[in-house]
Amino acid sequence: MTTKHLNRIYPLSREKVTIHDAFWAPRQEINRTKTIPYQYRQCKRTGRIDAFHLDWTPGKKKPHIFWDSDAAKWIEAASYSLTHHPDSELEVLVDDVIDLIVSAQQDDGYLNIYYTAVEPEKRWTDLEGGHELYCAGHMIEGAVAYYEVTGKRKLLDAVCRYADYIASVFGTEEGKMKGYPGHEEIELALIKLYRVTQNEKYLELSRYFVDERGTSPHYFDMERQARNHEGHLKPVVGHLEGEDVNKYHQSHLPVREQEHAEGHSVRAMYLYSAMADLAYEIGDENLFNTCKRLWSHLVHKRMYITGGIGSSEKNEGFTSDYDLPNETSYAETCAAIGLVFWNHRMVQYECDSKYTDLLERALYNAVLAGVSLDGEKFFYANPLESKGDKHRSEWFDVACCPPNLSRLLASLEEYIYSESDHDLIVHLYVQSRLQTELAGKKVTIEQTSNYPWEPQVDFAIQLQEKARFGLKLRIPNWTSRYRLEVNGEETDEGVTLEHGYVRIERDWQDGDTVSLTMDMPVFRNYAHPAVKDAVGKVALQRGPLIYCLEQADHEASVFAVELPESSDFQVVFEEDVLNGIAAIEAKAYARTSASEELYQTDKSFKETAIKAIPYFAWDNREDGAMVVWMKEY
Amino acid sequence: MTTKHLNRIYPLSREKVTIHDAFWAPRQEINRTKTIPYQYRQCKRTGRIDAFHLDWTPGKKKPHIFWDSDAAKWIEAASYSLTHHPDSELEVLVDDVIDLIVSAQQDDGYLNIYYTAVEPEKRWTDLEGGHELYCAGHMIEGAVAYYEVTGKRKLLDAVCRYADYIASVFGTEEGKMKGYPGHEEIELALIKLYRVTQNEKYLELSRYFVDERGTSPHYFDMERQARNHEGHLKPVVGHLEGEDVNKYHQSHLPVREQEHAEGHSVRAMYLYSAMADLAYEIGDENLFNTCKRLWSHLVHKRMYITGGIGSSEKNEGFTSDYDLPNETSYAETCAAIGLVFWNHRMVQYECDSKYTDLLERALYNAVLAGVSLDGEKFFYANPLESKGDKHRSEWFDVACCPPNLSRLLASLEEYIYSESDHDLIVHLYVQSRLQTELAGKKVTIEQTSNYPWEPQVDFAIQLQEKARFGLKLRIPNWTSRYRLEVNGEETDEGVTLEHGYVRIERDWQDGDTVSLTMDMPVFRNYAHPAVKDAVGKVALQRGPLIYCLEQADHEASVFAVELPESSDFQVVFEEDVLNGIAAIEAKAYARTSASEELYQTDKSFKETAIKAIPYFAWDNREDGAMVVWMKEY
């Protein structure tokens, strides 16, 4: 098609990186030892595993149309966790599940619980709502992950057969269906399958799905008519009208003509991720520019300060520009995870810190809030304000978020570093060790830090022989000043600033050290005046962390607290609170009342103090109100 | 039962009072010449009138279970408007409708469209949701009103037969059903029927319905079981659980044990109105004290500053204390009208200005906002904040609010004055003339004022001979200083202040004048700190009017406006705006943005000005945002 992108970088693969910090490593450990087994038990308990026996009979509870994906995401998460933690018991369990899944594959390669066991005659009749291609995508991702970690091909071969069959059904060629998925996912999965198999058929199928989307005549319009407007989406979004119907699944326009982030936000993120992947693989600048346009719209008009996206429960997605209500924010955990996926892909194509800043914003706030500190309760929607009535759940009927969180946490190693032919790029500051080859030389780098609590990051470089390469360190957008030392001394030699990354090119020697110290003040965020629910308020931030006030730390109602413009902040490390956090304390005022009258002509205050905690840690103590945006005095 | 209340006062009947002011008289004229005919046409167009032919057949659209009440309320409104505006054409039309209604009455006295034409076998099986007794109540009110104005008995006789039949069905006696209405209304209607017929059976039936409510064993619990939990309420409030189910219709406790305003707010108001009526008629202090307890809870915990009540659409009613969201406020127009009804009854029992203050607050704000200036569009829910997407409708499927507004506006004469054996009481300042007898002497009083725009009220007394009586004038809670003159001079002679009313007792002579001038400053209301959606904000008020900002008057977003604590206010009379209003102008600031970033570390302002308009007048110009509670700087 076109030439490959020349400046591309690529993520260091998971096995080259070991995380051993105080922040993420324990979370990965909880994810591995608690959440992943817990999710298996939930899948088992709810019938999501056994449904692959295809033994549903009329009268029994129907399997959901997306159960395949829950099992697949569990396989994917388990696979990632095996990378650094071989666990033969877990591996046997995965193998058993894979045996069962593969046993459900039909002779022609088709593999789907619902449309095999419940409505076999309806295969491919409800691409818009039936989630068949979505489930196929997740199964491919699970298969690729398990193959990468274990080398075992059984599921990979099965999904290749499935993908081959799908390629025989869909396409622009005569006799094929010109359909595409209502819930995007398979597009990005096929790129993964292409990367691991090098079979260009899968790359081409992904490109077909992306480029066919939204073209005329409109596939879903025709499909809906053929189904007499019945189908799986009707009970979910039957209330949508006009162009909102196709915006819901980003098919309102051909993809390359889209300018605004629209519709169901998880679908949007998975589509945009696939677009960035495709642009990367085939050097498609037009497609990448479409991504940039959508990115700019999303970031400037439709994103919560936490990196949460999708304002409304009604479409689980985007509404209108600047419509970002706090209490009713949807901000689905999966959508924030999708934002991480997408920005991780964007930065590989164009190494600009704006993508990593956004990835980090979503990761440390909107994503991380999705799971409780004990790893066993989950938010589906992530409000920025609560009266005290919103709490994480142990599981969901539509259980996309828990395994999505698990697979991201279990693969976090991929997100920290990238490399290119001449550079090692540090995106995230997470204490870890990497071992790779750069410029043909083996290199080990130890990253030491207590991020996100402390702003100092040190790198110790181990080399068997000298090597010349660029070390690129991201300068986050939350800092305005940093100090860089090489071997204990500030230096300008070979140092350049490139799109938010400081790059040090030199002949590195064994024992070289690099230190980056960033100013990490508490600062106040103000919203654009068009954001009606945040304008006039303030949100505190330190480093990548957005803070909130929880009622548990306050005597006065958190809604009645007003932070003086002049208040200084104290950062207090509390080892025993919420598994250890840096809290922010400040003097403040709280509205009081001289009487029990609801409406009064005098206003009165009392002095009080606030103690803000990181947003991700909220709702891990007793019930109570919470605000991210607080009033300023 | 008990002795009648000794200090009771009673409203001057409509025919004794003529309104000829610049504020209400034109609204009554629009109501009479436009709204009432318009509502007839709507009732006719939608089949609400013709349904009394009882010719529904399977396959045709079913009449709603509460259609009877829409016709009845139209009759009631039309009757009131005939008081001062004889209109033979309208009277003929009402007679025709009454002929049709009475033709639908069954031999046993039963009179209901739905349960005669559609499900005759289900009569009285769904008291909880079927609205039969509610419809009966409205039919009684319509009949009483038409009889009072015209002396015609046809509908009155019909509803007496119906009430006699109802009395034969319901009661504690052996063989009777121990039920009561799911939607209260008939209780207060029966008091009206008692007053006009002096038949104590109706008083007793009302008392039975009130006192049976919520007793054990619980009638609705049993009824629901007998219906296998199906019924008309299920689709409406099937989501309610536990004690919320019976709170919805105020049957969670015996009425006299209730302490909190709960459930569907219109139902609550109609019940409380009936309770106040009963207390008044039978001198039942226990029942009146129950009313006072509920009043205090409502006013201190669950009322919008506009007098709107009922925070949530989910139950069309009350939620929890201090839960008063602005944008999603329900504040149904009918509920505010019910609040007027109730407080009008409370003040007759206990002449305390707190009831009239509340009546006035609701009337000038929450009620009046319910109808457009042209009298042809209506709000069902009355938000205190809008992004610009909320507008009045021409009609509703559930069309309770428009005719409710009409009957209140058409009977406003009743609300201005009360009398007792020795006093004439002025509750509301509305330019008008009254003619009555006091202490056995004929008296005419001309009230002159430009209320609510100007704070001066003058009374000119015409007497054929000297008379000694008390003239009581309400001192509204929005003023802190007033000046009282009798015959042009300040005086203390015979002047006392009684529960918010200044009382002047003297030997009045023909030609005496009384002038009341009140300070009417613009002032700032602050909400109790527990009201999370209003704390830290300010709502402007002048006289009884709550103000709001509409986008039409502002360049900056009304959400981004901040009113300095120090700003002075200018009151500007604008004859050409919104049919003539007093606007409030002040200097203010508006948040601006130095960039297109959604979240910024600097905050910037520009100077701007606000122009606040009375809340009742909002949404009468182009689409746009609106706020009652604005930020303060």
pLDDT, tens digit, for every residue of A177-205? 999 999 999 999 999 999 999 999 999 99
Residue of A nearest to B321 (CA): A598
Q: Residues of B with CB below 8 A from A562's CB?
A: 536
Q: List Cβ neighbours of A332 (8 Å cut-off, separation of 6 or more).
A: A265, A266, A308, A310, A316, A380, A381, A382, A401
Q: Please, which residues have CB within 8 angstroms of residue A241's CB and are 6 or more apart in sequence?
A: none
Q: With contact defined as beta carbons under 8 Å apart, do B502 and B476 qualify?
A: no
Q: Are B374 and B304 in contact (CB under 8 A)?
A: no
Minimal CA–CA distance to B305: which of B327, B330, B320, B324? B324
The residue from B384, B400, B415 where one domain ends is B415
The share of chain A scoring above pLDDT 90, in percent, equals 92
List of long-range contacts for A588-591, beta carbons under 8 Å, 24+ apart: A588/A561, A588/A562, A588/A563, A588/A564, A588/A633, A589/A561, A589/A562, A589/A564, A589/A633, A590/A555, A590/A556, A590/A557, A590/A560, A590/A561, A590/A562, A590/B529, A591/A556, A591/A560, A591/A562, A591/B526, A591/B529, A591/B535, A591/B536
* Whether residues A139 and A253 fall in one domain: yes
Active site residues of A: 316, 400
Catalytically annotated residues of B:
316, 400
Q: Tokens 């840690």: give the residue.
A: A617
Domain boundary among B518, B552, B580: B518
Question: Which chain B residues have a beta carbon less than 8 Å from that of A600?
Answer: 525-528
B69 domain-assigned: yes
What would the mean pLDDT of A375-393 be, rounded to a whole number?
93
Which DSSP letter does residue B48 get? Answer: T
- Kindly state whether residue A6 falls inside one of the protein's structural domains: no
Which chain B residues are Cβ-neighbours of A536 within 8 angstroms?
A: 559-560, 562, 591, 631
What stretches of A320-400 show up as alpha helix (H) in DSSP? 333-349, 353-361
What is the C-alpha to C-alpha distance for residues B443 and B471, in angstroms, rounded to an integer? 12
- For B219-239, give the DSSP string: HHHHHHHHTTT-STTHHHHTT
Same domain (yes/no): B500, B530: no
Q: What is the pLDDT of residues A13-62, one digit of tens each?
A: 999 999 999 999 999 999 999 999 999 999 999 999 999 999 999 999 99
In angstroms, rounded to a whole number, what is the distance separating the alpha carbons of residues B381 and A30? Answer: 48
B-chain residues within 8 Å CB-CB of A323?
387
Structure tokens, A566:
């002049």
Nearest by CB to A529, which of B322, B535, B592? Answer: B592
| Residue ranges in chain B whose pLDDT is less than 50 | 1-3
Whole-complex ipTM: 0.91
CB neighbour list of residue B518: distance below 8 Å, 6 or more residues apart: B455, B456, B457, B475, B476, B479, B481, B482, B483
**Contact between chains at A529 and B631 (C-beta distance less than 8 A):** no
Element (H, E) at A26: helix A24-30
Q: Which residue of B has its CA nearest to A630?
A: B536
Give the model's pLDDT for residue B299.
Answer: 98
Helix (H, G, I), strand (E, B) or coil at A433: strand
- CA-atom Rg of chain A in angstroms: 25
Number of C-beta neighbours around residue B597 at 10 A: 14
- Sign for the pseudo-dihedral over CA of B72, B74, B80, B83: negative
**Same-domain status, A503 and A370:** no
Contacts of range A392-395, beta carbons closer than 8 Å, 24 or more positions apart: A392/A619, A394/A42, A395/A42, A395/A46
Structure confidence at residue A489 (pLDDT)? 96
Give the domain extent around A471: 418-518
Mean pLDDT of chain A: 95
Quick one: A497 and A550 in the same domain? no
Q: Indicate the residue among A367, A385, A415 that finishes a domain.
A: A415
Query: Inter-chain contact A598–B531, Cβ cutoff 8 Å?
Result: yes
> Over 60: is that where the pLDDT of A5 sits?
no
State the sign of the Cα–Cα–Cα–Cα dihedral A18, A22, A24, A25. Answer: positive
Same domain? For B212 and B265 the reply is: yes
How far apart (Å, rounded) are the C-alpha atoms in residues A117 and A58? 10
Q: Between helices B200-212 and B186-197, what is the axis angle to 10°?
A: 160
Judge contact between A368 and A408, C-beta under 8 A: no
Distance, CA of B355 to chain centre = 13
Same domain, A572 and A622: yes
Pairwise CB contact (< 8 Å): B303 & A590: no
What average pLDDT score do residues A155-184 get?
97
In chain A, the number of structural domains is 3
Interface with chain A: mutation pick from B478, B525, B559, B599, highest number of A CBs within 10 Å: B599
Tell me if B3 is assigned to some domain.
no
Whether residues A304 and A440 share a domain: the answer is no
**B4 occurs within a structural domain:** no
Token pair of B416 as six digits: 């201005």
Strand stretches in A403-494, DSSP E: 417-419, 423-426, 432-438, 441-449, 456-463, 467-474, 482-486, 489-490
Contact B563, B539 (CB under 8 A): no
Query: Closest chain A residue to B603 measured between Cα atoms?
Result: A526
Q: Give me the residue from A525, A529, A598 closest to B300, CB to CB.
A: A598
pLDDT of A7 strictly over 80: no
Minimal C-alpha gap between A529 and chain B (Å): 6
Pair (A37, A170) in one structural domain: yes
Helix (H) or strand (E) holding B542: strand B537-542
Which residues in chain A have Cβ-Cβ distances shorter than 8 Å to B560?
529-530, 532, 535-536
* Whether residues A95 and A173 fall in one domain: yes
Asked whether A415 and A425 are in contact (CB, 8 A), the reply is no
The answer to whether the CB atoms of B529 and A625 lie below 8 A apart is no
Residue of chain B nearest A627, judged by CA positions:
B532
Domain with A362 in it: what CATH number?
1.50.10.10
Tokens encoding A284: 């498609």
- The amino acid that residue A100 corresponds to is L
What CATH number is given to the structural domain containing A434?
Answer: 2.60.40.1180
Give the pLDDT confidence score for residue A2 in this predicted structure: 40
Tell me, yes or no, whether A382 and A433 share the same domain: no
Shortest Cα–Cα distance, A593 to chain B (Å): 6
Any domain includes B388: yes
Query: Does one domain contain both B358 and B493?
Result: no
Query: Is a pLDDT exceeding 70 seen at residue A574?
Result: yes
CB contact under 8 A, B536 and A591: yes
Same domain, residue pair A374 and A255:
yes
Closest CA to B400 of B307, B304, B264: B264
State the pLDDT at residue B6.
58
Q: A-side interface with B, Cβ within 8 Å?
A: 299-301, 303, 305, 322-323, 387, 523-532, 535-536, 539, 556-557, 559-560, 562, 590-593, 596-603, 625, 631
Exposure string over A308-344, b if 16+ CB within 10 A, otherwise e: bbbbbeebbbbbebbbbbbbbbbbbbbbbbbbbbbbb
Q: What is the pLDDT of residues B197-217, one digit of tens each?
A: 999 999 999 999 999 999 999
Contacts of A524 in chain B (CB under 8 A): 601, 603
Residue B567 DSSP code: -
pLDDT of the residue at B1: 38
Residue A5 lies in a domain: no
B2 inside domain = no
- What is the pLDDT confidence band of residue A241, given thresholds at 50, 70 and 90? confident
Domain annotation covers residue B628: yes
